[in-house]
């Protein structure tokens, strides 16, 4: 009897070793194909240099839809289609202009850009005294008497002691998003916000902002100032609190227009009803060409499906790439995809988003059950040869977030983020700042995780509750 048990144990252990060997072989093939035959960098080159910034509702956004659909068609996928979605159309207008005036006629120009969704200044611009605050909470301390008729200058910087630059970003982005809404309640004429950037430079960084429920006629204009400009403005204010600030912008909100999510699919060979998604957002801000945010995530997601075709791996579950439209200023694409999925009773088991730049991959963060996280963490040895080490609980991504349900595993690719906010939403988010090898490593890392999820599945909710 003991001999039979020993033979069974040896057979079982042999199958485990064999399975691990097969996994190592497939993952090695994925990385080799990405690093020697990759298409992601070429796709990004076209998106960035032939199309450029892809703000929702723009001609460039539609060009990106047409181009990525064409490229997905060329991969021989089982199905490629466009999913219509209505998106906001905000236009920047003529370039913004601003200066600090220390004495009548003595001015220093500073770089600014309108925040996405802002209203314009009056045609001749706004010129007023300025009051500096470190955050929204300071408004109540100052009160209406010290704010009314002035421009509010939000100057809380990203915290440089945070190793996670996304944590530093989260710690001050509220002043960009809600600063105009709150300052307007105290009679401010406009808002200037320090750019969300850890580096001192002359690039103002745009980004979405909201007026809440404030009527259009009561909204005040909001702009970002570069970090060097913010330092100069703050120092000048300390020397002379009575200086004036002038800015002019001509942005405008137009009626919504129709755009599309771009979707490609390899139908599962064994469990086609179980759907896995990889994706990024196809739109970008208009100042740069959106290479890191989020052209990189889009081409990496497209590359996942191409790598499966290249290596001859046919997924057991249906694998979709979704290039979401309008993440930057509305999240309409992510919400529409989830809405349609629910209406069709589609069963999504896994969703992976790349929206943190095209830098060197470090791992993933997961929004899932403890049981699923433990299963995924057991695969860490397979990633060690590729220097992938981070498998942690955390945020996944904005566009896949609306899909969330009790049993779904959501994941976000986590590249090294130390340089990300040097480029985020700024004029220097351009193709030359993306490293080809780093981009390809990210795509291979995503494909490897999808392969393992496909092969071993996720822990069913019934088992978790059991």
Q: What residues are labeled active site?
A: 327
Task: Please report, to the nearest 10 degrees, the dihedral formed by the alpha carbons of residues 384, 390, 392, 395 taken in order.
Answer: -130
Residues forming beta bridges with residue 353, ordered by sequence position: 279, 412
Could you tell me where the DSSP H helices lie in 148-268?
A: 165-170, 174-184, 227-239
C-alpha to C-alpha distance for 435 and 41, rounded to whole angstroms: 9
For residue 306, give the H/E element and its range: helix 296-311
CB–CB of 411/449 below 8 Å? yes
Long-range interactions of 209-215: CB distance < 8 A, separation 24+: 209/115, 209/116, 209/117, 209/118, 209/176, 209/177, 209/178, 209/179, 209/180, 209/181, 210/117, 210/177, 210/178, 210/181, 211/117, 211/180, 211/181, 211/184, 212/178, 212/181, 214/181, 214/184
- Which residues neighbour 338 within 8 Å (Cβ) at sequence distance 6 or greater? 402, 403
For tokens 């942005």, the residue is 251
CB–CB of 388/445 below 8 Å? yes
Tokens of 254: 């137009």
What are the φ/ψ torsions at residue 133 (nearest 5 degrees)?
A: -135, 160
C-alpha to C-alpha distance for 342 and 323, rounded to whole angstroms: 18
C-alpha to C-alpha distance for 455 and 409, rounded to whole angstroms: 15
């Amino acid at each position: 009897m003991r001999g039979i048990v020993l033979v069974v144990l040896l057979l079982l252990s042999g199958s485990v070793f064999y399975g691990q060997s097969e996994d190592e072989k497939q993952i090695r093939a994925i990385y080799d194909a990405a690093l020697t035959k990759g298409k992601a960098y070429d796709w990004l080159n076209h998106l960035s240099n032939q199309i450029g910034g892809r703000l929702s509702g723009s001609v460039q956004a539609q060009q990106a839809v047409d181009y990525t659909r064409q490229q997905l068609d060329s991969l021989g996928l089982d199905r490629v289609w466009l999913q219509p979605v209505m998106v906001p159309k905000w236009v920047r207008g003529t370039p913004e202009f601003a200066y600090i005036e220390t004495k009548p006629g003595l001015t220093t120009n500073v770089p600014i850009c309108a925040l996405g969704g802002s209203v314009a200044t009056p045609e001749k611009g706004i010129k007023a005294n300025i009051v500096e605050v470190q955050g929204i909470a300071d408004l109540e301390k100052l009160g209406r008497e010290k704010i009314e008729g002035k421009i509010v200058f939000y100057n809380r910087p990203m915290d440089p002691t945070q190793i996670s630059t996304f944590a530093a970003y989260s710690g001050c982005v509220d002043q960009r998003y809600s600063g105009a809404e709150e300052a307007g309640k105290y009679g401010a004429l406009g808002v200037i916000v320090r750019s969300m950037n850890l580096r001192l430079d002359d690039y103002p960084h745009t980004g979405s902002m909201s007026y809440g429920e404030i009527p259009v006629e009561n909204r005040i204009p909001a702009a970002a100032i570069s970090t060097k400009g913010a330092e100069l403005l703050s120092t000048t204010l300390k020397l002379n609190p009575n200086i004036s600030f002038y800015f002019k912008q001509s942005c405008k909100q137009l009626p919504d227009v129709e755009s599309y999510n771009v979707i490609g699919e390899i139908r599962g060979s064994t469990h086609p009803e179980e759907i896995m998604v990889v994706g990024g957002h196809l739109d970008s801000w208009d100042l740069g060409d959106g290479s890191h945010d989020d052209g990189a995530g889009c081409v990496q997601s497209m590359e996942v499906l191409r790598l499966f075709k290249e290596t001859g791996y046919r997924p057991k579950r249906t694998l979709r790439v979704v290039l979401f439209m309008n993440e930057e200023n509305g999240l309409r694409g992510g919400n529409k995809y989830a809405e349609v999925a629910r209406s069709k009773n589609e069963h999504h088991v896994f969703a992976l988003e790349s929206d943190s730049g095209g830098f060197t991959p470090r791992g993933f963060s997961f929004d899932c059950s403890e049981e699923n996280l433990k299963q995924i963490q057991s695969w860490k040895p397979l990633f060690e040869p590729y220097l992938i080490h981070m498998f942690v609980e955390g945020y996944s991504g904005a566009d896949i977030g609306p899909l969330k349900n009790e049993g779904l595993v959501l994941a976000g690719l986590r590249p090294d983020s130390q340089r990300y906010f040097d480029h985020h939403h700024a004029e220097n988010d351009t193709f030359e700042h993306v490293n080809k090898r780093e981009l390809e490593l990210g795509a291979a890392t995503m494909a490897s995780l999808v392969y393992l999820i496909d092969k071993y599945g996720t822990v069913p909710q019934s088992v978790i509750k059991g």
